[in-house]
Structure 1
Amino acid sequence: MTIAEFDPHVRFEDWTRTRVPAVIGTNSGSEPLAFQNWRRFKEAFVPELVERAVRETGEALGRPVINCLDPCAGSGTTPLACQFLGVEPIAIEVNPFLADLIEAKLSVVDAAVVARRCSEVIGTQLHVDPNEHYALAPATFVEPGVADRYLFPRDVAERLANLVLAVEQVPEVKVKRLLRVLLGSAALEVCNATVSGKGRRYRQNWKEQMRTVDELDQAFVQAVEGAVFDIARYARRRNLSYDLRRGDARLEIANIPEIDLAVFSPPYPNSFDYTDVYNIELWSLGYLKGGKDNVELRNSTLRSHVQIKRDFASDGLSLAVRTSVSKLRAVDGLWNKNIPDMIGAYFADLAILLRGVREKLVAEGRVYMVVGDSRYAGVDVPVAEAIAEMAPSLRYELIGSEPFRSMRVSPQQGGRAELAETLIVLAAV
């Protein structure tokens, strides 16, 4: 082997070869990869999609891809995969917990320092009143909760608050960030609810199987040990730099540099606010201090839900969108009267996002975008079709539209796998 052939970096294949994705579109049913098991994202797309996008875009450009944007970074799959592929990642994430989780994955820290700080945090004993510490959190957060339903027993909530404050005393910024997000993982392990892609529900027989303070400590230590192993094993990625922007993607995208590629999946127009999925981490770790913070965060997300009162004004909608909105307006008894307007606003926001991406794309640069259809009262909202209609007016050429999987409709509609999830590929023209 010559010097030129020697590559000391961990390759993308070294990271992903440990498992074969059960579904090419998402992580659902697949074995978790390193970094992905810090906080399980069942619906996140697999990193192989990023590899494909980088390869195909490089072929279209006639040169290697230099950088790649994910404006809805979520679990951090795109920027992390880019580091393994030697591509400069640019990410935008509005959720502060997810932004910290992404940055913790992208950063390299000293394992010895992490272990020492973790030990110090575990050994810190502070006298914290959990009801005072979480006074502005939802009323069901700490025992006794509401109607005897609560997420954390009082002693576990007290220990959790103790650990949160102890982590805040860690002097190294990267280590503090890592410990904070891993503490969020531990909090999920011991709370009285389980979290899925659409919110949370109380565990079966949770009152008879209440988690303990010792279990919280153990879950935290185990999460740290696993993360340190991942960081150490994959520290020599081909590119360790990154550009992470925190805030509303509709606004932040104007501040990014020129890009070759964008790979992302926006929230789907299913009336559900994805912020709810992360409420336990957001409140328990102190990202949200009160109701105002919560409303501000929700208002900074795409208008894909009706869980708060918002301005749903929109214009310039495509034929497919106008047709769906018109059909929805004709439905009697929608569970929320704002759903038709929300659908229009959702596509208006997608247009803002795609227009912003187009302004930053080089000629022949590409967008790989995973989207999902929705259905309300039997009325389909064909997202992929609508984006294909929007593309020319946004100065894109539709390169391809291919199915990834079928999503299940709501249990009220039988729970059948009928809603399409689609990969849209666009090229800048």
Structure 2
Amino acid sequence: MAQAGASALTSHYRRLQGSWKVSSSTQYQRLVVPNGNASQPFHRWFHLKEAYSSQLLSQLMADSSYVPNENLAVFDPYSGSGTTLLSALDMATNHGIPAQVKGVERNPFLWELSRAKVYGRICGREAAKAFDVALDSVADAFHSSSRESLPIPDQSTLQNEAYFPRQNVRDLVAIRSSIDSCTDGEVRSLLRICLAAAVEGCGRLRRDGRALRFAPNRQPKDAWSSFSERAGAVLQDLLLTEPIESSGEVFFGDGREGVNETAVFDWIVFSPPYPNNIDYTEVYKTEAWMLGCYETPAEMRAQRQLTVRSHPSIRFNQDYAFLASDVSREVQSAIDPILESVPDDRYSSGRVELIKGYTDDMLLTLQKCRQNISPDGHLAFIVGNSAHGAGDDSFVIAADVLMGTLAELAGWRVEEVRVARQLSRRTSDNEFLRESVVLLRPA
């Protein structure tokens, strides 16, 4: 983008956030990443690189001078690995009150992960005995199974022996078959999560945030040993956790469609997919395939089409609800300068669709959340802005500013934008290239 165009877009973002309180918070820098989660019970069951810290929710409440009284109701429309819901359960327990937590997740693997964590955190040692007995049954079934008769998933990554040794894939499939044949219900989900957590270490691929990278020098772990290690950590967390008088539910569905319209929450906290080039269906595909979430490549493609329009990796539908809404003019005014900044090259159509699709999806999300917040409730979202293009043709999609603007159109008031950290990029030092926590209150 020419310098004049970049300056115009920056001025546009400044105008949009002009009436808001915008602050820098080094305290939140360590909270918008999964700092400390790897050592925390339940949170440690699976490392989701895109998660935020288990301490974020408590910090948000403390900074808002919020103290839960008789109960705590919390919702996350993009529950991911369940960080918000688990943190809410911990907060309520610390205050000696019950919690009601609800989440929605579209990715089938992450849905099972978050609901298994919530179940484990609520039931604690009451689930430990059943889990331990089931683990013994799975071990017996696995060691007596015939690996050669089990089909390898119809997925190119798992069939590539440079990525995953064939024996490891067969063993992982045998573990899944053993789990599915001799367990059911929530205990089955707990064991399946142990299996999913073992997958990456059994191959030579690593997640680096954007994609799966080949690590040819990595020595893959033994499948059963890796699964057993993960199961041991789960059992330990269950045994050391007292059951609590709280309830939790994670729905397999769409965060853009919200939850039961009669539900009312004290806090809604979420981190949507950022408007960048990351396709999370692709990043976590090996775990999903190993759990049998997809049987064919067509099923995985269908799943990708159902997700938030946050990346141009595939062609999404181009239906935009905001065009027919009563705020269409205001929405168009907010995104026109961004659209005008898109360089005219081979990526332009994909970027235009990304901007329009993401705007539409986030407006829907914020509108649905507004229906379910208590009159004195709080909403916080965590989002990172992203740079697209290169050199003079680069531009930034300031998702925090865009979503704040959409929130105002959906009946919210922007209380504060807390800039947690500036994001580095060699070709850009744009002031809006940042990751923020945005706090909203009902208008």
**2:152 paired with 1:133:** yes
1:399 aligns to what SS in structure 2? strand
1:132 aligns to what SS in structure 2? coil
1:253 aligns to what SS in structure 2? coil
1:160 aligns to what SS in structure 2? helix
Corresponding residue of 1:422: 436
AA partner of residue 302 (structure 2): E
> What is the rounded CA distance, in whole Å, between the counterparts of 1:129 and 1:286 in structure 2?
18
Corresponding residue of 1:40: 47
1:415 positional shift: 11
Aligned with residue 102 of structure 1, among 114, 126, 143: 114
**2:179 paired with 1:167:** yes
Corresponding residue of 2:87: 81
Cα offsets for 1:15-47 (capped at 9, x unmatched): xxxxx9971322247763222221112332222
CA contact (8 A) 1:250 1:356 kept: yes
**2:380 paired with 1:368:** yes
Residue correspondences, number: 392
AA partner of residue 288 (structure 2): L
**2:352 paired with 1:346:** no
Corresponding residue of 1:397: 413
1:306 positional shift: 1.8
1:169 aligns to what SS in structure 2? helix
AA partner of residue 243 (structure 1): E
CA contact (8 A) 2:385 2:432 kept: no
1:56 positional shift: 5.8
> What is the rounded CA distance, in whole Å, between the counterparts of 1:422 and 1:140 in structure 2?
35
> What is the rounded CA distance, in whole Å, between the counterparts of 1:276 and 1:94 in structure 2?
13
**2:209 paired with 1:197:** yes
Deviates more, 1:419-428 or 1:399-408: 399-408
**Equivalences for 1:312-323 in 2 at 5 Å?**
312-314=318-320, 315=323, 316=328, 317=331, 319-323=333-337
Alignment CA distance shift 1:189-1:249 (3 Å): same
For normalisation by structure 2, the TM-score amounts to 0.81
Residue segments in structure 2 that go unaligned for 5+ positions in a row:
1-26, 93-98
**2:136 paired with 1:119:** yes
Aligned with residue 153 of structure 1, among 165, 190, 196: 165
CA contact (8 A) 2:36 2:54 kept: no
> What is the rounded CA distance, in whole Å, between the counterparts of 1:426 and 1:252 in structure 2?
17
Corresponding residue of 1:324: 338
Alignment CA distance shift 1:414-1:128 (3 Å): farther
Alignment CA distance shift 1:141-1:179 (3 Å): same
Cα offsets for 1:344-366 (capped at 9, x unmatched): 21011000000000011121211
Corresponding residue of 1:7: none
Aligned alpha-carbon RMSD (Å): 2.7
Deviates more, 1:83-92 or 1:115-124: 115-124
1:141 aligns to what SS in structure 2? helix
Larger RCO of the pair (alpha carbons < 8 Å, separation 6+): 2
> What is the rounded CA distance, in whole Å, between the counterparts of 2:355 and 2:223 in structure 1?
41
Corresponding residue of 2:17: none
> What is the rounded CA distance, in whole Å, between the counterparts of 2:138 and 2:223 in structure 1?
13
2:380 aligns to what SS in structure 1? strand
Residue segments in structure 1 that go unaligned for 5+ positions in a row:
1-19
More helix by percentage? 2
Identity %: 22
> What is the rounded CA distance, in whole Å, between the counterparts of 2:157 and 2:172 in structure 1?
15
Cα offsets for 1:92-119 (capped at 9, x unmatched): 1111111111121111353233223223
Aligned with residue 398 of structure 2, among 362, 374, 382: 382
Cα offsets for 1:240-296 (capped at 9, x unmatched): 410211111122435561222201100000032111121011001111111232122
> What is the rounded CA distance, in whole Å, between the counterparts of 2:48 and 2:177 in structure 1?
27
1:408 positional shift: 3.7
